[in-house]
Amino acid sequence: MWRDAFEIREIDLFGRLGRLYTRRGVVETPTLTPVINPSKPVVEPQQIQRMGYQLLMTNSYIIYRSYGDLAKEVGVHGILGVDGPVFTDSGAYQLMIYGKVEVKPLEIVEYQVEIGSDIGVVLDIPTRRDTPYDQARLEVEETLRRVREALSLDLKGMLLVAPVQGGTHIPLVAYAARELAELPAGMYAVGGPTQLMQEYDFKELVRLVMTARLNLPWAAPLHLFGAGHPLMLPLAVAMGVDTFDSASYALYSRDERLMTPYGTLRLSEVEELPCSCPVCSKHSAKELKEMPRQERIRLIAEHNLYVLLEELRRIREAIREGRLWELLESRACAHPSMMEALREYVRYSRFIATKHPVTRFPVRGVFFASRLSRYRPEVVRHHERLKYRVERTRDIFLLFEETPQKPFTRAGLIKELMLQDTDIFRMSDAAVLSYPFSLIPLELDGVYPLSQYEASRNVFELAMDEIAADVLWYILNKGYKGVVLVYYTLPERFVRKLSESLAAEEVLFLGIGVENYQEALSNPKPLAARIRAALETLHDLTRDRQAAPAPA
């Protein structure tokens, strides 16, 4: 069962650094399992293993058709010529492409056990994108039946993968995942995503994978079939996928396409090779174009494998450093479909925040580059904290536009104002209007990462209306009667909109524009006097309001 086979060591977003224990060794995850055609490998399995891939994949159905009983004697490791862990598929891809396979479901599972597979898969029925709901429901039930039947076998230490099917029928995916979660599988998998990835429908892929992940045991390992382009690997990992497989490295090489972390290049259109892998370091684009086709295909496949391996290492290190979001966001900027996928991903931000670490060591700053950065777990968690952990102590709310210096109470203009006139902070509840966090009460200034961040002005420009709505909600939710806003770069339309929104709710508002921030920083006394005068004015007005008799 998966509890004995998988260990989570670190988490970032939904991404996990883990260890998958097989009977032939430990596999560090997240990782890709390159798919090898046992009859005609483009790159020899031993070479792929030497590159650094700890887990290889091949197709037990092709072995069954090509080798029959001989494979039981030689074993899958003997056929591939490797001694590390081997993952075998069951023929489900062939079933999806050709509509049938010439083997019984239980028979192919038994065969995988007999040829010594370390990880084997049930012969599930992949849900095609165009499959009607009623038919998909029947196919899901049949896959569930096959999983239950396979788990009754003596697997002799082989980890059995239970695939979640249902395709784009999201309620069906959730049902299948919940049913499989009750079964003692060695791993779980998301099945049937190949069509979505071929059509670059990564938005729908997010819905599929996240639905499965949220309905399966969190600590269980999850595999994604057919995911093999470096551009989307950070997304897969950020959704809680631990292993993925693909023959893309070989398929792309046959079309003379070179993978990069940001997309795909055609050799015919390239003048300089795009990386420093051993292939690109030893050969020029001109040399590759002129060499015999078979050698060229092999070298492009090797390049693709090196690029995939580099991206996997980059992902794992990003998890260690707590920078998976930055990597995910950078990849989203490489293709519109990836940006749409990220927009869909942030819809699950509340769930992601429940698993993302509150703190990590060593402490590192958090970067915010776009509006979508505001859906990071740190921001979601902060907004929850604002709802329940911050109480109003005064009637007047003093709000400062965020300053370049942090922490706000220990550097910059706010610190200088506190030294100049502490009374203005006793007369009001004070907070910072923050581009990524919307509001940071000064009493939370020292809480990580509320002073340990850098945000592009782009964040504010694109999320201006959201920030204004958050500020308005907080003021009304806490019951403030008056607001003083101190600002130096905020657009007048933002200030005007906030003022009008507060007036509509009968909250008094005064804005104090600072023409020269550096001058105010070096001489805060005049600004402190203006703030004090504004606070006293609002105190008098709110007192007059309270004293006024109610209308008859």
Spatial CA neighbour of 431 closest among 380, 391, 489: 391
In a domain, 358, yes or no: no
CATH number at residue 447: 3.40.50.10630
Indicate the number of domains in the chain: 3
pLDDT confidence bin for 57, thresholds 50/70/90: very high
Average pLDDT over residues 369-385: 94
Per the CB < 8 A criterion, the answer to whether 138 and 169 are in contact is no
Task: Return the closest-CA partner of residue 315 out of 231, 224, 246.
Answer: 231
Contact 235, 345 (CB under 8 A): yes
The answer on 481 and 461 residing in a single domain is: yes
Single out the catalytic residue among 12, 89, 429, 445: 89
Residues 285 and 374 in one domain: no
Residue 337 lies in a domain: no
Q: What is the CATH number of the domain that holds 213?
A: 3.20.20.105
Residue 548 has pLDDT above 80, yes or no: no
Please tell me whether residues 224 and 307 are part of one structural domain. no
Domain match, 237 and 138 both:
yes
Residue 84 identity: G
Please indicate, yes or no, if residue 334 is contained in any of the structural domains: no
Average pLDDT over residues 309-313: 96
Question: Does position 102 have pLDDT exceeding 60, yes or no?
Answer: yes
Residue 16, classified by CB atoms within 10 Å of its CB into exposed (0-12), middle (13-18) or buried (19+), is buried
Residues 191-200: tens digit of each pLDDT: 877 778 878 8
Q: What is the pLDDT of residue 362?
A: 82
Decide: 121 and 190 in contact? Cβ < 8 Å: no
> In terms of domains, do 90 and 218 share one?
yes
User: Which pLDDT score, from 0 to 100, does residue 547 have?
Assistant: 67
Per-residue model confidence (pLDDT) at position 552: 53
**pLDDT, tens digit (0-9, with 9 covering 90-100), for 182-236:** 999 999 999 877 778 878 889 999 999 999 999 999 999 999 998 889 999 999 9
Q: Pick from 429, 447, 425, 428: which is nearest to 437 by CA?
A: 447
Same domain, 302 and 240: no
Model confidence pLDDT, tens digit, residues 408-460? 999 999 999 999 999 999 999 999 999 999 999 999 988 899 999 999 999 99
Helices assigned H by DSSP within 248-292: 248-254, 278-282, 285-290
Q: What average pLDDT does range 356-369 have in this prediction?
A: 87
H or E element, residue 87: strand 86-89
* Domain ranges, residue 310: 256-322
Tokens describing residue 332 = 């989203």
**DSSP assignment, residue 201?**
-
Whether 332 is in a domain gets the answer no
Supply φ then ψ for residue 420, to 5 degrees: -75, -45
Of the three residues 219, 246, 273, the one that is the final residue of a domain is 246
Residue with the two structure tokens 């032939």:
24
Between CA 242 and CA 441 the distance in angstroms is: 38
The CA distance from 495 to 485, in Å, is 8
Q: What is the pLDDT of residues 144-173, one digit of tens each?
A: 999 999 999 999 999 999 999 998 999 999
Q: Are residues 408 and 529 in the same domain?
A: yes
Which tokens go with 145?
């039946």
Instruction: Kindly report the three-state secondary structure assignment for every residue of 46-85.
Output: HHHHHHCCCCEEEEHHHHHHHHCCHHHHHCHHHHHCCCCC
Average pLDDT of the chain is: 93
Q: What is the mean pLDDT of residues 65-87?
A: 94
> What is the rounded CA–CA span in Å between residue 244 and residue 16?
14
Q: Domain check: are 281 and 202 in the same one?
A: no
- Residues 229, 260 share a domain: no
User: Cis peptide leading into 362, omega within 30 of 0?
Assistant: yes
Percent of the chain, pLDDT > 70? 99
Classify residue 92: in a domain, yes or no.
Answer: yes
Residue 551's pLDDT is what? 58
**Range of weakest confidence among 177-181, 307-311, 359-363:** 359-363
Retrieve residue 1's tokens.
Answer: 């069962």
Strands 257-260 and 243-246 come out as unpaired
Q: What is the average per-residue pLDDT within 374-389?
A: 92
Same domain for 66 and 97?
yes
Contact 131, 167 (CB under 8 A): yes
CA distance 408 to 445: 7
Residue 23 — pLDDT band, cuts 50, 70, 90? very high
The average pLDDT across 329-358 equals 94
Position 514 scores a pLDDT of: 94
Whether 89 is a known active-site residue: answer yes
**Does one domain contain both 117 and 218?**
yes
Locate all alpha helices (DSSP H) within 99-201, ordered by sequence. 105-114, 133-151, 170-181, 194-198
* pTM, entire model: 0.92
Cα–Cα distance for residue pair 304/296, rounded to 1 Å: 12
Closest CA to 63 of 122, 100, 115: 115
> Residue 550: pLDDT above 60?
no
Q: Give dist(CA 56, CA 23) in Å, integer.
A: 14
Q: What is the pLDDT of residue 226?
A: 86
Write the pLDDT tens digit of every residue in 122-131: 999 888 888 8
Q: What is the pLDDT of residue 549?
A: 62
Dist CA 10 CA 32 (whole Å): 18
Q: Indicate the pLDDT class of residue 290, thresholds 50, 70 and 90.
A: very high
Residue 465 lies in a domain: yes
What pLDDT does 542 receive?
Answer: 86
Which of 512, 529, 505 shows the shortest CA–CA distance to 433? 512
Q: 251 in a domain, yes or no?
A: no
Is the confidence at residue 518, as pLDDT, over 60? yes
Q: Which of 246, 273, 307 is the last residue of a domain?
A: 246
In-domain check, residue 467: yes
Same domain, residue pair 295 and 161: no
Structure tokens at 475: 């003021």
Distance of alpha carbon 407 from alpha carbon 405, whole angstroms = 6
The rounded distance, in Å, linking the Cα atoms of 54 and 31 is 8
The amino acid sitting at 151 is L
